[in-house]
Structure 1
Amino acid sequence: MSRRMALTVAAGAAVLVGAGAYALAYAGEQPPALTHATARYTAPAAGHDGSLTFTAYVTTSSGVDDVKVLAWPQNSSLAEHEPTAKEMAEAEPAVCKPFRKHTAICTYGVRTTASDAGSSPRGVWHVAVLATAQNGTRTLDTRAADFLVK
C-alpha cells in the first residue's frame, strides 16, 4: 500500500471514529421516548369501584427518573391550552420498573367511585405524560393515550 493511500485510509478511519463518538454522545442526550402507551377505563358498576390504568414504555439511555400522569377531559378548559410541563410537575407519579436495558415500563392506576364517575364529564379523555430522564431531559406528551367515559 502506498504511503498516500495509507494516510487516506487513516484519515478516513479517524473521521468515522469521530463521527461515531459524536453520534453516541448525541444519543446520550436524547429525551425520553414514550411507546406503547395505553389507557384502560372501567366504569364503576353494581356497587364496585371502577378504575383507570395507564401503561407506557419509557426509553432513555440515562435511566428514567420520574414519570407524571394526568387524565383530562377533551371537553374542558385544558382543551384550550393543553397541560404544560410546569403544570405536569404537580401531577401524580407513575410506578416505573426496569423492563430492558434503557427501558422501563411505567404504570399509573387510580380507582373511580360511582360518585367520581357521576360528576366526571362524559366523552373522550386524554392522558398527558411528563417523563424525566436521570440526565434531566424531559418529554411531554399531552395526548399519550385516550379513553372514553360513557
Structure 2
Amino acid sequence: MPKHALVSSLIGFALVGAVTAGGIAMASDSTELALTNGSARYIAPSGDSAGSATFTADVRDDSGVRSLKVLAWPGSSKLDPTAAELRHTNDATCRSTSDDTSRCTYTLKVTKKEASRLDRGTWYVSALATAKDGDTVFVPHAATLHVND
C-alpha cells in the first residue's frame, strides 16, 4: 500500500473516531428526566387563616419540563397510586430555573373545616413528571409530610 494512501486512511479513521467519540460524549452529557429535592410541608389553619399543604421539587430534562402532577395521600389509607392514575391529578406550577430545570410547586389551601376531616399522621406525596419530549418519571413516594392538630 502506498505511503500516502496509508496516511489518508489513518486520517479518515481518526476523524471517524473523533466524530464517534464526540457523539458518545454528547449522548452521555444529555440529562434524563429526573425529579430531585422533593419536600412537603403541612401548615395547619390558625385563627381566621387557612392552612396549606405544599410540595416542591426540581424537575430536570434536556428537552425541558412539560408538567408535574401531584397527589398527596394519607399513609393510613394504604393507597398505592400508579403513574396512570396521576395523569388525572393536580398540576404543580413549574418555573424554569435553567434551560433544562424547573422548580415546581403545588400548594393546596386547607380550611379549618377541611383540616378537621384530614387523617392525622404521615402522608405521602406521589409525583409524575413529564418532559417536553414526552418522557415521564413516576416517583411513588416523592416526599413525606405530617398532618397534626
Equivalent-residue separation in structure 2 for 1:5 and 1:143 (angstroms): 59
Map Cα deviations across residues 1-45 of structure 1 (whole Å, 9 max, x no partner): x98688557535533531431453466583x21111111110112
State the 1:96 CA deviation.
Answer: 0.6
TM-score (norm 2): 0.85
Q: Is the 8 A contact 1:29 1:135 kept in 2?
A: no
Q: Secondary structure at the match of 1:117?
A: helix
Q: 2:97 aligned to 92, 96, 99, which one?
A: 99
**1:70-149 map, 5 Å:** 70-78=71-79, 82-149=80-147
Instruction: Specify the structure having the higher radius of gyration (Cα).
Output: 2
Q: Does 1:65 align with 2:77?
A: no
Q: Secondary structure at the match of 1:75?
A: helix
- Percent of paired sites with the same residue: 38
- Structure 1: gaps (5+ residues): none
Map Cα deviations across residues 109-150 of structure 1 (whole Å, 9 max, x no partner): 110011111111111111111000011100000111111011
Equivalent-residue separation in structure 2 for 1:146 and 1:88 (angstroms): 17
Equivalent-residue separation in structure 1 for 2:81 and 2:25 (angstroms): 32
**1:35-46 map, 5 Å:** 35-46=36-47
Equivalent-residue separation in structure 2 for 1:100 and 1:141 (angstroms): 22
TM-score (norm 1): 0.84
For 1:15, the equivalent position in structure 2 comes to 17
Number of residue-to-residue matches in the alignment:
146
For 1:24, the equivalent position in structure 2 comes to 26
State the 1:47 CA deviation.
Answer: 2.9
